[in-house]
Chains A and B, each alone.
Chain A
Amino acid sequence: MAKSAPAEDSGRLTRYADAGSVSLADNLVSAAAYRKVGERYLVTNDIGHFAQLEPADFKAYLSGSLQKGGELWKELQGKGFVRDHLDFDGLAEEYRNKNNFLFTAAPLHIIVTTLRCNYRCLYCHSSVVGLDQVDKDMTLETAKKTVDFIFQSPAPTLILEFQGGEPLLNWPVIKFITRYARLKNQAAKRNLFVTMVSNFSLLDEEKYAFLVDEKIGICTSLDGPADLHDKNRLFLGGSGHAETARWLKRFQEQAKGVDGKKHFNPGALLTTTRYTFGRSKDIVDEYVGLGLPGIFLRQLSPIGFAKRSWGKIGYTSQEFLAFYRETLDYILEINRRGTPFFERAALTALTKILRRRDPGYVDLRSPSGAALGVMAYDYNGDVYTGDEARMLAQEGDRFFRVGHVAKNAYNDALDNPVTKAAAMATLLENQPLCSQCAYRPYCGLDSVYNRAAQSSLWGHMPTNERCKLYMGLFDIVFEKLQNPRDREVFESWTREQ
Chain B
Amino acid sequence: MEFKVSTKTGEVSFSIQKKLYALELVQGAAYVLTDRAVDYVEEAKGRYELTLKAKDKADATRERLEALAGEFVNELLNHALRQKLLANNRSIMEHIISRAMVSARRDPADPAQPPAAAEQELNAEQRAEIDKLIAEAEAEIAARRKATAKPDPRGIAKTWEERYGKERTG
Instruction: Tell me whether B93 is interfacial, beta carbon within 8 Å.
Output: yes
A152-B106, A202-B156 known; A15-B75 Cβ under 8 A: yes
- For residue B106, which residues in chain A have a CB less than 8 angstroms away from its CB? 105, 152-154, 410-411
Beta-carbon contact of B121 and A429 below 8 Å: no
Interface string of B130-170 (1 = CB under 8 A from A): 10011011101100110000000011111111110000111
Q: Look across to chain B and name the residue whose beta carbon is closest to the beta carbon of A157.
A: B114
Residues A185 and B117 in contact in the complex (CB < 8 Å), given A102-B103, A131-B157, A436-B79: yes
* Least CB separation from A186: chain B residue: B126
Residue with the greatest number of chain B CB neighbours at <10 A, chosen from A19, A101, A128: A19
Q: How distant is the Cα of A12 from the Cα of B106 in the complex, in angstroms? A: 39
Taken together as a complex, chains A and B put the C-alpha atoms of A188 and B106 apart, in Å, by: 13
Q: Which residues of B contact A420 (CB under 8 A)?
A: 101
Please tell me if B28 contacts chain A, counting CB pairs below 8 Å: yes
Contacts of A180 in B (CB 8 A): 130, 133
**Chain B hits for A129, CB < 8 A:** 168, 170
On whether the beta carbons of B104 and A372 are closer than 8 Å, the reply is yes
Is A275 part of the binding interface, using a Cβ–Cβ cutoff of 8 Å? no
Contact of A433 among B32, B121, B158 (CB under 8 A): B32
Within 8 A of A (CB), among B42-88: 74-75, 77-87
Distance of A129 Cα from B105 Cα, bound (Å): 34
- CB pair A33–B87 under 8 Å, yes or no, is no
Q: How far is the CB of B153 from chain A (nearest CB, A)?
A: 10
**A371–B129 CA distance with the chains assembled, in angstroms:** 31
**Which positions 1-53 of chain B face chain A at CB distance < 8 Å?**
27-28, 31-35
Q: Bound state CA distance, A432 and B92, in angstroms?
A: 16
For A189, the closest partner residue in chain B by CB is: B114
Q: Return the contact of A187 from the options B85, B103, B107, B126 (Cβ within 8 A).
A: B126
A residues 346-394 near B (Cβ < 8 Å) are 366-367, 371-372, 394
Of residues 106 through 137 on chain A, the ones whose CB sits less than 8 Å from some CB of chain B are: 106, 115, 118, 120, 127-134
Q: What chain B residues lie within 8 Å of A430 (beta carbons)?
A: 93
Cβ-closest chain A residue relative to B106:
A154
Nearest Cβ on chain A to B59's Cβ, whole angstroms: 15
- Chain A: CB-nearest residue to B132: A179
- Tell me whether A127 and B114 are in contact (CB under 8 A): no
Q: Tell me if A291 counts as interface (CB < 8 A to partner B).
A: no
Known: A15-B75, A31-B86, A185-B117. A127 touches B104 (CB 8 A): no
CB B138 to nearest CB in A, in angstroms, measures 6
* B79 closest partner in A (C-beta): A436
Q: Is the CB of A115 within 8 A of B170?
A: yes
Cα of A308 to Cα of B169 in the assembled complex, Å: 11
B97 near A32: Cβ-Cβ < 8 Å: no
Do residues B168 and A188 form an inter-chain contact, with CB atoms below 8 A? Answer: no
Let me know if B89 and A190 touch, CB within 8 A: no
Task: Bits for B91-110, please: 1 = Cβ < 8 Å to A, else 0.
Answer: 01100110111011111001
B157 and A151: CB pair below 8 A?
Answer: no
Chain A residues lying within 8 Å of B35, measured Cβ to Cβ, are 462-463
B117: chain A residues at CB < 8 Å are 151, 184-188
SS class, residues of chain B in contact with chain A: helix
The answer to whether B32 and A13 have CB atoms under 8 Å apart is yes
Q: Say whether B78 contacts A16, CB under 8 Å.
A: yes
**Candidate in A128, A173, A184 with the most chain B CB atoms within 10 angstroms:** A184
Partner of A32 from B86, B121, B159 at Cβ < 8 Å: B86
Q: Which residues of A contact B85 (CB under 8 A)?
A: 24, 29, 31-34
Contact partner of B34 (CB less than 8 A), chosen from A102, A148, A460, is: A460
Q: Determine whether the beta carbon of A183 is less than 8 Å from that of B133.
A: yes
CB distance from A18 to the nearest CB of B (A): 9
What residues of B have a CB within 8 angstroms of the CB of A423 in the complex? 97, 100-101
From the candidates A12, A128, A153, A171, name the one contacting B170 in the complex (CB within 8 A). Answer: A128
Contacts of B81 in A (CB 8 A): 16, 19, 22, 24
Measured in the bound complex, the distance between the Cα atoms of B117 and A119 in whole Å is: 37
Give me the 8 closest cross-chain CB pairs, A-B, nearest first: A130-B159, A129-B170, A188-B117, A237-B156, A462-B35, A20-B77, A154-B113, A187-B117
Apart from A236-B159, A436-B28, what 12 extra A-B contacts exist at CB < 8 Å? A16-B78, A34-B82, A46-B92, A99-B96, A102-B96, A131-B158, A134-B145, A173-B141, A189-B115, A367-B97, A372-B101, A432-B27
Residues of A bordering B, CB below 8 Å: 12-13, 15-16, 19-20, 22, 24, 29, 31-34, 46, 99, 101-106, 115, 118, 120, 127-134, 140, 144, 148, 151-154, 156, 171-173, 175-176, 179-180, 183-190, 201-202, 235-238, 305, 308, 366-367, 371-372, 394, 410-411, 414, 420, 423-424, 427, 429-430, 432-433, 435-436, 460, 462-463
**18 intermolecular pairs with C-beta atoms under 8 Å apart:** A16-B78, A24-B81, A33-B82, A118-B157, A129-B170, A130-B159, A132-B162, A140-B138, A154-B113, A171-B144, A176-B136, A183-B133, A187-B115, A188-B115, A236-B156, A238-B154, A394-B170, A436-B79
